[in-house]
Amino acid sequence: MKKSELRKIIREEIQKIEEATKLKMPKTEEEARQQAIDWQSNFSNKSMSWQEVMDAGEHFEKVAKKFKLTNEFKEEGIL
């Protein structure tokens, strides 16, 4: 396999991983809590840009407001 083909495959796989890890609006309060828990546990294992951290913060602010979880998320260090 050529290096250019291998690079293309690697780029495609990275893109798939990034798409899968994007934060989507949860449908239930329990999904919101689980998403916050998962994000928080993965935070230390993943290198993130400041933009990704800010985007996650905005996302969880919206989620917290929608499901009335603001105090809980603040207590748990999500917000």
pLDDT at residue 28 in the model: 97
pLDDT by residue (tens digit) across 2-54?
A: 888 888 888 887 777 666 567 899 999 999 999 999 888 888 777 888 888 89
**What phi and psi, each to the nearest 5 degrees, are found at residue 27?**
-90, -25
- Specify the DSSP element, H or E, that contains 46: none
- At 70, is the pLDDT very low, low, confident or very high (cuts 50, 70, 90)? very high
pLDDT at residue 23 in the model: 87
Beta carbons within 8 Å of 44's beta carbon, 6+ residues apart: none
- Tokens found for residue 53: 């951290």
pLDDT at residue 49 in the model: 83
Report field, pTM of the whole predicted structure over 0.85: no
Say which amino acid occupies 65: K
